[in-house]
Structure 1
Amino acid sequence: MNRNKSLFYFAAFFAMVIYGISTTIIGAILPQLIDKFRLTGYSAGTVASIMPLGITIGSIIFGPIVDRFGYKLLMFVASITVITGLYGLSSTSSVDILRISVLLIGAGNGIINGTANSLVSDISGEKKKSRLSLLHAFYGIGALGLPFMLSVFSSVVSIREVFLIISISLFLLALLLVFITFPVAKKNMGLPLSEILKLINNPLLLLFAFFLFFQSGMEGVAGTWITTLIQKTRIDNYNSALAALFFLILALTIGRFLISFLLKHFTRFRLLQVGLIIVISGAVIIFSINNYYTTITGLVLMGFGFAGGFPIILSFVGDNYQSISGTAFSLIFVIALSGSMIMNIIAGVISDTFGIQYISILIIACVFIMFFLLYNLNSKMSMK
């Protein structure tokens, strides 16, 4: 069993590395897509929003299927779906094919993300909080990989070659899945519709979900638009913009490793509160000071502030809905990731109407709403 558990962790962590790489693609190459397809701010926002739409679709699919049939087949299909989307994204000259490709990448990644989180939650027992933080740190490692490769090796490695490397990695993951015996399905007869409807109307689950709605929105806006903001308002250099994105994700990754340690010494609510304060500090710096290096400082602060949101809230969900964790995670991700989709569209409208520098105000507004939700979450959890 210990050997199998090690393989489960390896598969989940490897999957999250790929998820991290794949979901940062649009943010990393958005300036090039804008130039290639002559996209307006609104059009770029809609293209960027297709990724979280696809992830949302994948999130709808994975939960009930995982609880009914288990993990293996679904993770295998998801890997092949992402490979197909990457091929389309790297080879198309059509905006419609671009959108379909981004949708496929998003849908496959939604399944990969959901199944990896649910699997780690299922097998971690009392170590759920720290292991989920570690899992999301591996997302950060993957997310660091793409801007690093594009920034450092852009003169020798094309974007198509980078996509080929990602596709080969996903194919290796798919092969690995064939040889792993996963935990059996938890609900052999499926989850009754009445239980799903009851879960949808659960006030505590909805508070978790809408907190992550705004968390996902903030992370999505920062990760997608920061390269464009820097090129338009700070320094007109693509590699410098990628370097800034790299520092954002580096701070997020280090922060998640730190969270797995800090959870032993501080409450989950305290870490969430401190994280939101750090995010708003970074957003204010980016909005108020028009300087490249100061912007990087603000991004580093935001990255550290983002670190606790997803792993901590998902650990609460895993604790409270253990017997139907797949479906609970599915519902959480559907609502949460729609935040990234909606906020990216709003960011595009703000960029066209007021100027791209005002995107920081959107992040600040999200933080204030999240403080209100966190207060209500703390009150409800205290009454349990």
Structure 2
Amino acid sequence: MAVMAAESRPWPAPTAAGPISTTVRLPGSKSMTARALVLAALADGPSVIEAPLQARDTTLMSAGLRALGVAVDTSADDRWRVEPGPLRGPATVDVGLAGTIMRFLPPLAGLADGPVEFDGDPHARNRPLRPIVEALRALGVRIEAAPSGGLPLTVHGTGLVAGGEAVVDASGSSQFVSGLLLSAPRFAKGLTLRHEGPPVPSAPHLRMTTHMLRAAGATVDDSVPETWVVEPGALHGRTWTIEPDLSGALPFFAAAMVTGGTVTLAGWPAQSWQPVEQLSRLLTALGGEVTRTAGELTVRGAGTLRGITADLSEVSEMTPVIAALAALADGPSELRGVEHIRGHETDRIAALATELAKAGAGVTEFPDGLRIEPRPLHATSFATYADHRMAHAAAVIGLTVPGIELTDVGCTSKTLPEFPELWAGLAARS
């Protein structure tokens, strides 16, 4: 599969003529696909990944693993096969703008025999990476990094990572913890990792990491708060069935909320490793109704949205779309606890403050979030900052505000290349 570079193209957001009521089938979770690829690459036998996400991030992750000597067969859209092999350098890994690649693969590269170079899109060099680099150095890995502590960097793998104990400040991203834990069973001494600093955001993603490690045969003890102990040992090849991406589904659920319609996500598992409970509470507080039945997750909108006060630290990836809903609500909202999203694909807090204000909303920016005062919104050019979630937020607003034009819808290829077509079809069914 060829790497899909993000295509930059302006796009007028379609407006819905009435309530949107439909069932959607969406690709697999980016977070689960990325973790399954890494665990499969480190396993003692072949693995199969069913219903993987096919998007720029996962394509680049697959290419990075191939460069390191792992056989990743993505020729079948719905069933990928991974054959682990001896990890080797020299190799070059293009991370694109993906936090999963720049934080999950350097620990794995420490296990490779030879140097591995990492770089990516221009803004990727601004994304925080120093905590994981410093932790790897403490574990015996030699790394050359930019003065910022991030990209471009070179991991000088020796085929062995001693492991042992390390301290990390993961307040900037839970991926600093996940990236270290995923490779830890292959470290000679395993890993005892302790977080020191402000709270780690996105706790559900950490639980996903530990659940998937255990499913692959690892022994993980996370009984002590902010401490993770991974014993050295084998990871086993297995079949991973990837859930539909909950963050990717949110804009579609939001479409039901803003139009007073009903959107059902098909293929939802009875037991999920994603933060569905947190999302259900948020959408209910905003005025929606969330129900789960066998294999489905449904959101109904009442036609009006309520303002909320919410700590989004556990579901920070959802902040842009929640902010878009808040801008369309009948009262003010305050969204806090997400200072770390300033280091995502863009400074999402500043970007949201700028673009929502351009559309007419009253916005107050805090270090860790936003206060949004709904006002009549109007047509505007909505900059997307090469950030798929900003594009999703603009599209949601465009359903009820004519004349919203995204500066670039191509950035949605990061996690859902078919987003423009799916979204246009959704609006057409209103």
TM-score bin, normalised by smaller chain:
under 0.3
> Which is helix-richer, 1 or 2?
1
Please give the TM-score of this superposition, normalised by the length of structure 1: 0.25
The higher-RCO structure (CA 8 Å, 6+ apart) is 1
Please identify which structure carries the higher strand content.
Answer: 2
